[in-house]
Amino acid sequence: MRFVKGHGTENDFVILPDPDGELELSATTVAAVCDRRAGIGADGVLRVTRTKLSPEVSGQAGEAEWFMDYRNADGGVAEMCGNGVRVFARYLVDAGLAEPGEFGVATRAGVKRVRLAETGDVTVEMGPPRVLGSSRTTVAGHEYEGLHVDMGNPHLACVIGDPVARLDLSHQPAFDPEVFPGGVNVELLNAVGPRRVVMRVFERGSGETRSCGTGAVASAVAAALLAGESTGTWAVEVLGGTVTVTLDEHTSYLAGPAVLVASGVITL
């Protein structure tokens, strides 16, 4: 299989070009590709295929030519990935499959509008966050309360007093399976200044990652609620860098780098 490797604030992905929808991706294949010792290594896979050839999203073909078929590192199918869609858009422009400017990308969470030049950061309209209440998580014996935020995929964003740098995220944080029957991405964050937070994240199906785009938006929503705000621009510091989240009355935007670092062929 041909591949391209890319990352957004060190949240890394293997991009698999499949314009004609011929590639059958099993969970085993995805896990093998993402294996950091025996494969290429990544937090997930982005399959690039035409929207009209993908029955689950073919209804989006009028708004987006290309479908981002995103899989977590364990092979599980996921609805959306904020860093992934930026890397996906950068690949489309770099490969000549889309022109710089603004265009739509089909995802399982609906069409996401992206904006980018030939170089530089990529901005994605992430859609309106849906706040669905609160829940709790337990990390290394410590219980934290967080905000349940739906970004097309589920998040539990917890603003905590303990320094996030000291947390042990080597294991899946505990969560309420009745609230999150399909699993959840857990964000732990510290408010470190006006509209600025530091975040770490444990992603379902991938473990702790260097960044999470949808998680950054969920974290900004939780921090804004704590500060008594609902709109504004937030800087979210992650292990792999900094992304910018803008909240307005109707939707949210995520901006940050998207870098392609390698290409080649993998034989499994």
CB distance 16 to 10 below 8 Å: no
Question: Among 14, 45, 46, 81, which one carries the catalytic annotation?
Answer: 81
Beta-sheet strands, E only, within the chain: 2-8, 11-17, 44-50, 66-72, 101-105, 112-116, 122-125, 130-139, 142-150, 154-159, 185-193, 196-203, 207-209, 232-238, 241-247, 252-256, 259-265
H helices present in the chain, as ranges: 27-34, 82-94, 213-226
All residues at 6 or more sequence positions from 146 whose CB lies less than 8 Å from its CB, including other chains = 134, 135, 136, 137, 156, 157, 158, 159, 186, 187, 222
Question: Among 212, 217, 223, 245, which one carries the catalytic annotation?
Answer: 212
- Among the listed residues 194, 241, 179, the one whose alpha carbon sits nearest the alpha carbon of residue 216: 241
All residues at 6 or more sequence positions from 55 whose CB lies less than 8 Å from its CB, including other chains = none
34 annotated active-site: no
- Among the listed residues 48, 93, 89, the one whose alpha carbon sits nearest the alpha carbon of residue 71: 48
Residues annotated as catalytic are 81, 212
